[in-house]
Amino acid sequence: MSARIGVLNDFIQFRSNWSRYGLAVLLVAVAAAIRYALTPVVGTITPFLFFTLAQVAVALFAGRGPGLLAVMLGTAVGYYLFLQPAGRLSGAEEAYFIILNVLVAIGLIWMADAMHRSRNEARRSEAEARAAHQRLSDLLDRIGDAFFSFDREWKCLHANRRAASMTGKEPETMVGETFRSLMPGVFTASRATLLQRVLENQEFLALDGLAEPEGLWFELSAYPGPQSASVFIRDVTDKKRVAIAIARSEEQFRRIFDESPVGMMIVGMDARILRVNNAFCRMLEYSEEELLGLTITEITPQEDLLTSGFYSPIQQKLITGRTEHLQMEKRYLTKSGQVLWTNLNASILREGGDRRYFLGIVENITERKQAEEQLRESQKLESLGVLAGGIAHDFNNLLTGILGNASLSLDLAPSNSPVRPLLQRLVQSSERAADLTRQLLAYAGKGRVVLTAISLSTQVQEISSLVRASFPRHVRLDLELAPEMPAIEADPAQIQQIIMNVLLNAAESIPGDRLGLVTVRTFALAATEGDLRGTLPSSRAQPGRYVALEVVDNGAGMDKATLARIFEPFFTTKFT
């Protein structure tokens, strides 16, 4: 293909050169014909005048080469046709005349050729300028921004097609119009001062805003020139609407996140807390700044890390993408060390590329779990009560016959009878068994409980002598009783039984190889909800004024498993 184009160009160049030299021959022939036709009028005067004119014309229109050819042809034709036949000049004069004619012709040709080259150069420069202007115009039409060129009075010199679509006018009709008339929403009074600095101070300007009333969001860039300014205006309305929609969505998410009544958190893939809402902070008793410095592992009970921690198998299913949603019950540690039961709903948020976050919605279900625990305790106690009531009822029927017959036998036995002491011990044992039966019936809700106003300090004082008598020799009992205690309504027998059992358990927990001390304190206090939290596993104590009994010993103490079961009926650690 390139070879064919080269041959075609050579052929065109060949034809162009022959046409130029042919023009030289043609004009010389025309000059000869005109001179020959005018011979009767001019005679032998100026034999080379018409040839000189032809030579200048050839040089002017065809260039220097064809002009020199015209000089040679014109000199030869003029000499043989018009100078020599006249025979008026000698040989030296003819030579001088011919040389002078040739020099004059060559000089004229050189001048004409210079004019020819200058004209061609001007045409070429003009063509190149038009081509460059067209290329620039095409380039400006292809860009996506509106382009304007303004003079120092902000009158339009040029505008591209995008500017035409933005203003609704053709580029040709915008020439001469002012920036304000073309885009009044952009060239406002407040922006006019900024735009004027572009030309006055030769400063680059970049600004954005909203064109009113067109509703056009734009970005403007103005580049200064010596006598003009180039202004690019980009329509960013769609981009701005998307940004506004995203901002509104983010604001809605922020409000939902921050004002949600349930706890919400965003966690990185390294288990570090990145964002929390107010509800979650209140739930865990931390400030937002404190939580943002922690990891999920640090607010999870140690014993739960393998089952419900961030790196547990169930949560790793969500983090690794094997499931899209996670719902589970999970425990958290509050700042005060309390364990909080929650219902966790979690999913993965993706933010461009591979950036992922853990979104958790946390609902506090501690009260529900306590209610469930209370219900289970109530059901268990109810079952035990039914069992205890049945046993106590049957046992009481048996005791009635045993105690009645033992009492009658004791009354009938002589005072010196050897069986009398045995019958007395039988009656005493039957009465203690009857007391136990009454306690079982009271637990089952079938007994009769006598509620009276009593002082807790008085009850401890009354039973202290019996307790001291029951203590091992190496254990001492100290009493620190408040003298004036608010009265409470309770069954004195049951309160004393509770005190007796607690004190005996405390004494029995102290090893026999060291001196033991059991201290009993009574006092009144105004308890808050925080003070009472966790004191009763199966119920929620109400804040208020309470009386308290505190027993302190230097024994081995209880582990957590034992402590969790101290309120269970019939639970004991003694198996003797």
Distance from C-alpha of 166 to C-alpha of 169, rounded to nearest angstrom:
8
Tokens of 239: 């981009």
DSSP conformational letter for 568: S
Average pLDDT value for residue range 374-395: 74
DSSP conformational letter for 82: I
pLDDT exceeding 90 applies to what percent of the chain?
15
Return the SS3 of 63: coil
Return the SS3 of 44: coil
Lowest mean pLDDT among 27-31, 428-432, 479-483, 558-562: 428-432
Average pLDDT value for residue range 544-560: 87
> pLDDT confidence of 567, banded at 50, 70, 90?
confident
Torsion over CA: 79, 81, 84, 89 (sign): negative
- Identify the top-confidence range among 45-54, 266-275, 444-453: 266-275
pLDDT at 200: 86
> pLDDT confidence of 311, banded at 50, 70, 90?
confident
Torsion over CA: 85, 90, 95, 99 (sign): negative
Return the SS3 of 320: coil
Torsion over CA: 30, 33, 36, 37 (sign): negative
Q: Taking the mean position of all CA atoms in its chain, how far away is CA 561?
A: 45
Return the SS3 of 564: coil
Lowest mean pLDDT among 85-99, 199-213, 444-458: 85-99
Q: What mean pLDDT, rounded, does the chain reach?
A: 80
- Identify the top-confidence range among 50-64, 350-364, 435-449, 534-548: 350-364
How many angstroms separate the Cα of 402 from the Cα of each of 421, 423, 434?
16, 11, 11
pLDDT at 145: 85
pLDDT at 14: 36
At 449-485, the pLDDT tens digits run: 678 888 998 888 888 887 888 888 888 999 999 988 8
pLDDT at 259: 83
> pLDDT confidence of 1, banded at 50, 70, 90?
very low
Residue with tokens 């101070």: 201
Does the structure show a pLDDT above 70 at 534?
Answer: no
Half-sphere exposure (Cβ direction) of 27: Cα atoms closer than 13 Å: 26
Does the structure show a pLDDT above 60 at 576?
Answer: no
> pLDDT confidence of 290, banded at 50, 70, 90?
very high
Tokens of 35: 């001179």
> pLDDT confidence of 87, banded at 50, 70, 90?
low
How many angstroms separate the Cα of 461 from the Cα of each of 77, 144, 454, 506?
162, 97, 12, 17
Does the structure show a pLDDT above 90 at 343?
Answer: yes
- Identify the top-confidence range among 14-18, 329-333, 487-491: 329-333
At 88-104, the pLDDT tens digits run: 555 565 565 566 566 66
At 243-258, the pLDDT tens digits run: 888 888 888 888 888 8
Closest CA to 324 of 308, 341, 354, 345: 345
Average pLDDT value for residue range 342-346: 92
At 132-147, the pLDDT tens digits run: 767 766 677 777 788 8
Does the structure show a pLDDT above 80 at 519?
Answer: yes
> pLDDT confidence of 6, banded at 50, 70, 90?
very low
The dihedrals phi and psi of 509, each to the nearest 5 degrees, come to -80, -10
pLDDT at 108: 63
Does the structure show a pLDDT above 70 at 289?
Answer: yes
How many angstroms separate the Cα of 180 from the Cα of each of 157, 185, 352?
14, 8, 42
pLDDT at 395: 73
Return the SS3 of 308: helix
Distance from C-alpha of 444 to C-alpha of 389, rounded to nearest angstrom:
5
Tokens of 113: 């050729």
Q: Please provide the distance, in angstroms rounded to a whole number, between the alpha carbons at the two ends of the chain.
A: 114
Return the SS3 of 52: helix
At 148-189, the pLDDT tens digits run: 989 989 999 888 888 888 888 888 899 999 999 888 888 888
Closest CA to 538 of 380, 382, 375, 374: 374
Does the structure show a pLDDT above 60 at 125?
Answer: yes
> pLDDT confidence of 520, banded at 50, 70, 90?
very high
Distance from C-alpha of 67 to C-alpha of 109, rounded to nearest angstrom:
6
pLDDT exceeding 70 applies to what percent of the chain?
80
Lowest mean pLDDT among 64-73, 284-293, 402-411, 475-484: 64-73
pLDDT at 98: 63
- Identify the top-confidence range among 63-72, 378-387, 487-496: 487-496
How many angstroms separate the Cα of 267 from the Cα of each of 225, 358, 410?
54, 5, 81
Does the structure show a pLDDT above 80 at 438?
Answer: no
pLDDT at 244: 87
The dihedrals phi and psi of 197, each to the nearest 5 degrees, come to -65, -25
Strand partners, 158: 149
